[in-house]
Amino acid sequence: MFERSTLLKKIPVGHGFTTRAGGVSEGRFATLNLGRRWGDQASAVRENYRRVARAGGFPLERLRIVKQVHGAAVVPASEVDEASEADGIWARRGDAPVAVGVLTADCVPILLADTSATVVAAVHSGWRGTVANIAGEAVRVLVEAGARVDQLRAAIGPCIELEAFEVGPEVAEQFPDAVVERERYPRPHVDLVAMVRLQLERAGVPSVAIERVGGCTHANPSRYFSYRRDGAGIGQQLSWIGIF
């Protein structure tokens, strides 16, 4: 059900990147769909969440997610409600025990924690959020909350990779040349993983403290949901991290 980071496993936090295995959804949503927006049976999605919480070892009512809007806002879990809009959520030890999560189906999920498990964050970095440097913003917020930047650990989860992420020139020009491939393909391709890694490093996270977890969502239909591959009306993965 989960893919996990070896770096985050060394920290006393719970975390996981879900795959599409282990749930009860059917058809295009088979089987562990955690997205509620695109037509899956509500009862199936609820059961999928119950299974994730049970496997993750946290009470489902302690999970905090928000409406994602492809921006760069990173909000505290203590302020999240049903109307909250953001693309990152963070939590601090000492507040109420909580898991924070983001949903993806090609965009880049990032999980962050410091080595003393003082703070954690879950971040959704689509191409617009990546252009807006939400990864760097999440690091800034966690440092402001008390973490030492050199003690942060980051896991970049399953997402679309360079080979599959074709974009128009108007999108490509918003990224540095170092992460854009223009020679091998008829149209530009962008390496979102490389860009997010670069942003984390620029924010002060040591390169050895950044780990790539999982594979390309587009290239692995049996393992991951992918919006770019299958279009709307498909499932979503959940990337979560918690302090309990």
12-44, pLDDT tens digit by residue?
999 999 999 999 999 999 999 999 988 999 999
Quote the pLDDT of residue 136. 98
Q: Positive or negative, the Cα torsion across 93, 52, 81, 30?
A: positive
- How far is 15 from 111, CA to CA, in rounded Å? 8
Q: What share of the chain in percent tops pLDDT 90? A: 98
Quote the pLDDT of residue 6. 98
User: Do residues 195 and 212 lie in contact, with contact meaning Cβ atoms separated by under 8 Å?
Assistant: no
Quote the pLDDT of residue 232. 87
Tokens of 28: 């295009």
pTM score above 0.95: yes
Encoded amino acid at 21, one letter:
A
- How far is 203 from 73, CA to CA, in rounded Å? 16
Question: What domains can you pick out in the chain, each with its CATH number?
Answer: 2-243 (3.60.140.10)
For 154-166, write each residue's pLDDT tens digit.
999 999 999 999 9
Catalogue the E-assigned strands of the chain. 2-3, 14-18, 63-64, 74-76, 88-92, 98-104, 108-114, 119-125, 152-156, 180-181, 189-190, 210-212, 237-243
- What one-character-per-residue DSSP string does 7-30 give? HHHTSS-EEEEE-S-S----GGGT
Q: In sequence order, what are the residues at sequence separation of 6 or more whose Cβ sits closer than 8 angstroms to the Cβ of residue 37?
A: none
Low-confidence stretches of the chain (pLDDT beneath 70):
none
Encoded amino acid at 90, one letter:
W
User: Do residues 117 and 13 lie in contact, with contact meaning Cβ atoms separated by under 8 Å?
Assistant: yes
What is the chain's Cα-based Rg?
17
Quote the pLDDT of residue 3. 98
